[in-house]
Amino acid sequence: MIAHLDPFHAIAISALAQRMTAQGRSVIRMEFGQPSTGAPAAALAAARDVLDGEDLGYWESPALLERLARYMAETTGVAVAPDQIVLTCGASPALVIALSLRFGPGARVALARPGYVAYRNTLRALFIEPVELPCGPEVGYQITAAALAALDPAPDGVIIASPANPTGTVIVPDEMAAIAKVCAQRGIRIVSDEIYQGITYDAPALSMLAFDPDAIVVNSFSKYFSMPGWRLGWVTVPPDLVDAARARMGNLFLTPPSLSQHAGLAALECGEELDGHVRTYARNRDLLLGALPAMGLARIAPPDGAFYVYADVGHLTDDSMALCIRLLEETGVATAPGIDFDPIDGHRFMRFSFAVSTPLVEEAILRLIPWFQAQGALC
pLDDT digits (tens, 9 = 90+) for 96-123: 999 999 999 999 999 999 999 999 999 9
- The predicted structure's pLDDT at residue 5: 85
- The predicted structure's pLDDT at residue 379: 58
- The predicted structure's pLDDT at residue 376: 74
Q: 308 in a domain, yes or no?
A: yes
Residues 221 and 89 in one domain: yes
Q: Do the beta carbons of residue 103 and residue 82 sit within 8 Å? A: no
Q: Considering the chain, what percentage of its residues have pLDDT values greater than 90?
A: 91
Among 269, 290, 311, residue at a domain's last position: 269
Residues 244 and 327 in one domain: no
Taking the C-alpha atoms of residue 224 and residue 219, their distance in angstroms, rounded to an integer, is 10
Q: 202 in a domain, yes or no?
A: yes
Residues 98 and 34 in one domain: no
Q: 148 in a domain, yes or no?
A: yes
- The predicted structure's pLDDT at residue 302: 82
User: Could you tell me which of 314, 321, 319 has the C-alpha nearest to residue 299?
Assistant: 314
Residues 19 and 164 in one domain: no
- The predicted structure's pLDDT at residue 45: 95
Residues 120 and 157 in one domain: yes
- The predicted structure's pLDDT at residue 167: 96
Domain that residue 251 falls in: 57-269
Alpha helices in 60-165 (DSSP H): 62-76, 91-102, 117-125, 145-150
- Dihedral sign computed on CA atoms, order 320, 322, 323, 324: positive
Q: What is the pLDDT of residues 232-273, one digit of tens each?
A: 999 999 999 999 999 999 999 999 999 999 999 999 999 999
Taking the C-alpha atoms of residue 316 and residue 318, their distance in angstroms, rounded to an integer, is 7
Residues 216 and 93 in one domain: yes
Taking the C-alpha atoms of residue 208 and residue 173, their distance in angstroms, rounded to an integer, is 9
Extract the residue ranges of the chain whose pLDDT is less than 70: 377-379
- DSSP assignment of 42-75, as one string? HHHHHHHHHHHH----S---HHHHHHHHHHHHHH
Q: How many domains does the chain have?
A: 2
How many residues does this entry show for the chain? 379
Residues 135 and 226 in one domain: yes
- The predicted structure's pLDDT at residue 53: 79
Residues 117 and 254 in one domain: yes
Residues 61 and 107 in one domain: yes
Taking the C-alpha atoms of residue 105 and residue 269, their distance in angstroms, rounded to an integer, is 41
Taking the C-alpha atoms of residue 241 and residue 244, their distance in angstroms, rounded to an integer, is 5
Residues 208 and 68 in one domain: yes
Among 251, 269, 287, residue at a domain's last position: 269
- Cβ burial of 152 (10 Å; 0-12, 13-18, 19+) is exposed
Angle formed by the axes of helices 320-331 and 358-378, nearest 10° = 120
- The predicted structure's pLDDT at residue 286: 97
Residues 364 and 259 in one domain: no
